[in-house]
Amino acid sequence: PSLEERQRRRTEAINARVDSLAEEAGGDLARAERRAAGTIILGSATVPLIIGILLVVTAFFLPHSGEVRGYDVLLFSDRSDQFLTTMPERIFVWLAFVGGILLTAATLISKATIVGWVNWVVCGIGVFYCFLAVGMRNTRGPEEPGSGPGIGLWLTGLGLLIIVIALSTRVFRRTAVQSAINTRRREAADKDEESLAAQQRLRVGMPAVPHTTDVDDRRARVAARRRAREEREDQPGEPDQGSDTE
């Protein structure tokens, strides 16, 4: 199909979804918009999210540092204790497991906005702890066991970063359905005096001034006085009462 045909089908699908939400909300467009905001449309962000999950899962089986694997840090194994894995590293791995795997999978399945936001926050904190973990590994004393950051640690941080960027393109923007509902609300508000008054109170904090039409009727009043004066002049004069008595 041509670009115009695809655009027409997309518009029809959006309008159908808006009509469905408005019907479910009993005609309340504000309520329908809140319902639409509860669903996140992933679209082109789906592939980066899947790539992020695969990177994090793969990184758990790669060296986190030296002989320590990612799952060793996650499960608090004796090997991770032997090579003095620090608490920031353990927090980072757990954030990667919860945010990079569990919450990202939940976002892909549920498409719930609240899940997407929690996923974005957890993965964002995980990226921060990635830098802390790398710093802890690079500042170890020569007498301490272990080595610097391994490929698994870097891949985990990269996977979380991809997830954060992909979610940022979705959670910070309105969906097409939300925009369509908002457009309908503005159009309806422009026709409703109560909505116009509420908008003015929100904008300037003052009650709305009633819409009255001032008509300049000065010419009409002058013409009316002129006609009245001409009518009086055209009427015959009354007889003099003094002459009748004589």
Closest to 130 (Cα-Cα) out of 200, 233, 205, 55: 55
Q: Which segment of 127-131, 170-174, 214-218 scores lowest on mean pLDDT?
A: 214-218
pLDDT on residue 245:
46
25-60 pLDDT per residue, tens: 666 666 766 776 678 888 889 999 999 999 999 999
Amino acid identity, residue 7?
Answer: Q
pLDDT on residue 216:
66
Q: Would you place residue 246 in the very low, low, confident or very high pLDDT band (cuts 50, 70, 90)?
A: very low
Q: Which segment of 118-132, 158-172, 177-191, 223-237 scores lowest on mean pLDDT?
A: 177-191
Res 131 pLDDT > 60: yes
Determine what percent of the chain falls in helix, strand and coil, rounding each to the nearest 5. Answer: 70, 5, 25
81-119 pLDDT per residue, tens: 888 888 989 999 999 999 999 999 999 999 888 999 999
Query: Mean pLDDT across the stretch 228-245?
Result: 63
Dist. CA 236–CA 230, nearest whole Å: 12
| CA quadruple 56, 165, 157, 94: dihedral, nearest 10 | -60
Residue 22 or 74, more confident: 74
pLDDT on residue 101:
95
Q: DSSP alpha helices (H): ranges in 172-217?
A: 176-189, 193-204
Residue 10 half-sphere exposure toward CB, CA atoms < 13 A: 11
Dist. CA 199–CA 209, nearest whole Å: 12
Residue 50 or 177, more confident: 50
CB 122 within 8 A of CB 99: yes
pLDDT on residue 93:
94
Residue 226 or 23, more confident: 226
Res 156 pLDDT > 90: yes
